[in-house]
Amino acid sequence: MTELIQSIEGTETGHLVALWLALTAAFLHALFGALQKGAVPPYAARTSIDTALVVISAPMALFVVPWPEGVQWALLAGAVGIHFIYKVLQAETYLRGAYTVVYPVVRGTGPLFTVLGAGLVFGETFTAMQWLGVGVLLAGLFGLSVYNVRHLAAGARATLMPALGWAVATGLMVAIYTTWDAYGIRATPDPFTFLFWFFLLTALDFPLIAMARGRFRPTPQLVRLGLTGAVIAWGSFGAVMMATRLDSVGEAAVLRETSAVFAALIGWVWLKEPTGPRRVALMGLIALGAVIVEAGG
C-alpha cells in the first residue's frame, strides 16, 4: 500500500484519489458531528473518543508499522501540542455558542487560513478562479451561521460575540494543524507510520488528564460514543491527511469543508430537522464553491 501511495503522489491519479479522500473526510466529519450533537458535554465526549483512539491505534503503532525516526518524532511532538490546543478551543467554543452558529464559522475560517498557510509553507498558489470558489464557499458557510443566528433564543445571543471569537480562534488552529500534519505526513516515508503514531500520541492527553483528576466515569453511552466516534475520527482525519500528501493541501482543506452540506443533509434525512429554501440555497453555495475550486485548479 505504501509503495502504491508513493507511486501516485503528484500525479493525475493522485489528484483524483485526493479529491475523493477529501470528500470522504467531509462526510465523516459531518457524521461525527451528528453523533455527538448534544449527546454529552464536549469534554466528556472528547475524552471518551480519545480513549478509544488510543486503544485502536496502539497495537498498530507499536507492532505493525515502522517506528518514527529522527525529526519525525519532533513533528509528532508538535502535533500533540497543536491538537491539544485545538481540542480545548473547540470544546470551549461549543460550550459558549450554539453548534449551528459556531460550526460554520470554524469550518469557514479554517480553509481560508489553510490556503494562506499552504502558500507560505508549501509554495502552493490558487488561481483567480479558485479564489472565487473559496469566496463562494465562505459566503455559504458564513451565510449559514448568520441564518442560524436569527433563530437563536435571547439568552444564547447574549454570549454570541465571545463564542464567535472562540470559533475564529478554533478555525485558525484548524489551519495550523492541517498545515503541520501535511508537512509531517509528507516528511515520513511510510505515511501509515505518521498516521498510527499521530492518533496514538495526540489522543493521550484528555484520557491522562481525566485519569489524573479522577473525573472520567465511562458509562455505556460514553463507551458507544467513544468507539463509534474514534472509528469515524480515524477515517476523517486520516483521509484528509492522506489527501494532503497526495495533492494540494489548500484544495483538500477547502473540499473538506463541504462537511457543512453533508451535516445539513444528515440533519434533514436522519435527525428530521427542517430544511427551508434559504438553507438549501446556502448549502448550494458551499457545494458550488467547492466545484469552482476543483475546476479552477
A 10 A CB-CB count for 211 gives 12
Q: How far apart are CA 277 and CA 11, in angstroms?
A: 40
Question: Nine-digit cell at 286?
Answer: 458551499
**What is the reported pTM?**
0.87
DSSP annotation of 125 reads -
Q: How far apart are CA 82 and CA 296, in angstroms?
A: 31
Residue by residue, pLDDT tens for the chain (297 residues) are: 778 888 898 899 988 999 999 999 988 988 876 665 556 777 888 889 999 999 999 999 999 999 999 999 999 999 999 999 998 998 888 888 777 778 788 888 888 889 989 899 999 889 999 999 999 999 988 888 888 777 666 655 666 778 888 989 999 999 999 999 999 999 999 999 999 999 999 999 989 988 888 777 778 888 888 999 899 999 998 999 999 999 999 999 888 888 878 877 776 776 566 667 787 788 888 888 888 988 887
Question: Nine-digit cell at 5?
Answer: 501511495
Q: How far apart are CA 146 and CA 104, in angstroms?
A: 9
